[in-house]
Amino acid sequence: MFRRRSADAPELPDQAPESSPTADETAERASTTQGKGRPTPKRSEAERRRRQPYTAPADRKAASQQSRDRDRATRGRRMEAMRRGENWALPRKDQGPVRALARDYVDSRRSISEYYMFGVLVLLVLVFIPSLRKSPVIDYAVLLLLVVIVVESVITGGRVIKLANQRFPGESTRGVRMYAAFRGTQFRRLRVPAPRVKPGDKI
């Protein structure tokens, strides 16, 4: 009446296996995110945390040192910009397209006036020579040097004004002749702003 279970038959578990979750339950679990445990900060609070608070110096000496360092850094940046010829950093006498044209024209040419300081040093040495101290040679040399500087300054200034009137009509050329003459008597390496062109370049 009772049949014996076969040894090869698999044993049935005592409890039925849990049914697999449905598609709706899976979507619901995926859409549920785990909480952070704290409220999300407001944008104003996040920006305030990112900002580094300014810590004022404790004493007057530290504040003065900090101010000097800041001013030194500002002057250094301005000096570098002025050497590059950036218009915002230049003194007022160097600003404007006409002054920039005058600098480029002078820098593109070699002149005797550029080396007048060497002539002045030679004349100073000659003054200390007893045999030449009362000689008119030194006077003639000084006069010749002055004539060369004046002639070159007049020619250079006239050409700069002519170019400025052609390229920048309506711009003022007042003082440009003296400006070009003064730059022409400076050593090339000591000119500020630094030359943007090389000798021989076409302007």
List pLDDT tens digits, range 66-76: 788 788 888 88
Residue of 77 and 188 predicted with greater confidence = 188
Q: In 10 A of CB 149, how many CB atoms? A: 18
Q: Which residues contact 197 (CB under 8 A, 6 or more apart)?
A: 104, 107, 108, 203
In three-state secondary structure terms, 43 is: helix
User: In which element (H, E) is residue 93 found?
Assistant: none
Q: Where are the domains of the chain?
A: 96-190
Please give the Cα distance from 111 to 186 (Å, whole number): 10
Query: How confident is the model over 10-36, as a mean pLDDT?
Result: 49
Single pTM value for the model: 0.61
Provide mean pLDDT across the span 53-78: 74
Distance CA 45, CA 47 (A): 5
Q: Which parts of 51-198 fold into alpha helices (H)? A: 60-84, 97-107, 116-127, 130-133, 136-167, 176-184
Q: Supply the angle between the helices 136-167 and 116-127 in degrees, to the nearest 10.
A: 170
Peptide linkage before 136 cis (omega within 30 of 0): no
Using one digit for the tens of pLDDT, what is the confidence trace for 125-149? 888 888 777 778 888 888 999 999 9
